[in-house]
Amino acid sequence: MKKLILFIVSDSVGETADLVAKAAASQFRQGLETVLIKRFSHVEDESQLDEIVYLAKQQNAIIIYTLVKSAMCQKLKQECRIKEIQCIDLLGPIIERIGMELGEKPLEEPGLVRQLDEDYFKKIEAIEFAVKYDDGRDPRGILRADIVLVGVSRTSKTPLSQYLAHKRFKVANVPLVPEVEPPEELFMIDPAKCYGLVISAEKLNFIRRERLIALGLKDDANYARVERIEAEITHFNNVVSKIGCNVIDVTNRAVEETANVILSELTNRHS
């Protein structure tokens, strides 16, 4: 049975070329059994290329590479031509075509796609965290969060949590209700990562009445009465005073504006 050796050469991890090689080999009945793949990752200088080409010649291997630096690509092509070794450039032609269409030169920085993947998964993790620890469902999330939001009902805690999660922050939010003792975890965290969201009684009265109407209920329920709202705000003030956290008035602020206040403060704190 004939054996074929493929050398995967990359200035990053080499996952892209490895997957492409396996996908191609899988198209043959005995491809995955007879094709041996050897990966050479993080190849960053020409001396490494010389060694790889030497080995490829000894083992009669085909080189498949994903090198983003043009100088390294040219070096490998030249050495393969001299040694009469077959080589396949997976990225070069695509990068060249995209550059021509965009009128730009490539960055030639290895590992950028991996950085993008890590950034993407960090955002997904933050979004899942915000969902899991929304509305005080599990107070354990308070201790794990980057940002903790507290406030009475209808102060945009959930949409603000999701907005900040898309910025890759793990956010937990906790509703404050006079009849329910706030979780003890709120008083165990660094007050600097906690933000209280306050709103005027008049504005909250309007929001809650509209909410009740949208649900097909009467708008004079206790939930929307000014006296009830004022009692909730008093309770809120007592709790945030005990926590010692910052308070943001969201009365006339959009979610994005409130988020920018928090993000600006975090940036200033770490600058």
Residues within the annotated binding site for ADP? 151-158
Count the neighbouring beta carbons within 10 Å of the beta carbon of residue 180.
10
Regarding beta strands 194-198 and 147-151, do their DSSP bridges make them parallel or antiparallel, or are they unpaired?
parallel
Binding-site residues, please?
151-158
CA distance 109 to 77: 19
**E strand intervals along the chain:** 4-10, 35-40, 62-66, 87-89, 147-151, 171-175, 194-198, 246-249
Q: Residues with Cβ < 8 Å from 242, sequence gap 6 or more?
A: 187
CA distance 80 to 7: 12
Who's near 21: CB < 8 A, 6+ residues apart?
6, 8, 35, 37, 64
Residues 67 and 43: beta-carbon distance below 8 Å: yes
User: What is the rounded CA–CA span in Å between residue 271 and residue 155?
Assistant: 29
